[in-house]
Amino acid sequence: MLTEKELELVRQEGLKVDNLLCFALYAASRTAVDAYRPLLGKIGITYPQYLVMLLLWEQEPRTIKEIGTALYLDSGTLSPLLKRLEKKGLINRQRDSQDERLVNISLTGEGHALKEQVRDLPETLFCQIGWPLEDFGSLVKRLHDLTGRIYAAQTGG
């Protein structure tokens, strides 16, 4: 897969933080979430909570499992997070009557209404950062590709 020369390069450089793809992702991710924090703080939710709301604004109800699959999060993370969203009055948690293992998550009126308050949030951030639009799309594509590759490599796919 790699030539001996390329492998040598990986061995030499692979133990320096700045060369690590994983660290670059790790730092970029936290910095990006930092940019959302003050804006989301105004409406009282966190970034992971915002991701859940985005999913529900697109389509509802959804089960916890479906939300977890879409966001790559497990129930140990989502269970308490969804309870906090319920406490804020933004969502309803209701056990499915057909299959009682499932918990259906739906929006309250207040949850629907919140969408208006974040309508121009992506635009605001986009302009703040000043990242070229073409770059933007291609980077997102490469990241999703990478995520898929790593995920597949893990599960032996």
Chain residues binding its own copies by CB under 8 A are 1-2, 6-7, 9-11, 14-36, 47, 51, 54-55, 57-58, 70-72, 115, 118-123, 125-131, 133, 135-136, 139-140, 142-144, 146-147, 149-151, 153-154
Whose Cβ is closer to its own copies: residue 113's or residue 150's? 150
> Omega of the bond prior to 80 within 30 degrees of 0, cis?
no
Element (H, E) at 32: helix 21-42
Q: Considering only residues 98-117, where is the footprint of DNA by CB under 7 A?
A: 98-103
* C-beta atoms surrounding 20 within 10 Å: 14
Among 6, 13, 34, 110, binds DNA (CB under 7 A): 34
Joined together, the tokens standing for residue 58 give: 């697109």
Neighbours of 143 (CB within 10 A): 13
Neighbours of 13 (CB within 10 A): 11
Task: Output the smallest distance, CB 72 to its own copies, in A.
Answer: 5
- Catalog residues that contact DNA under the rule CB under 7 A: 26, 30, 33-34, 37, 46-49, 63-65, 68, 72-82, 84, 93, 98-103
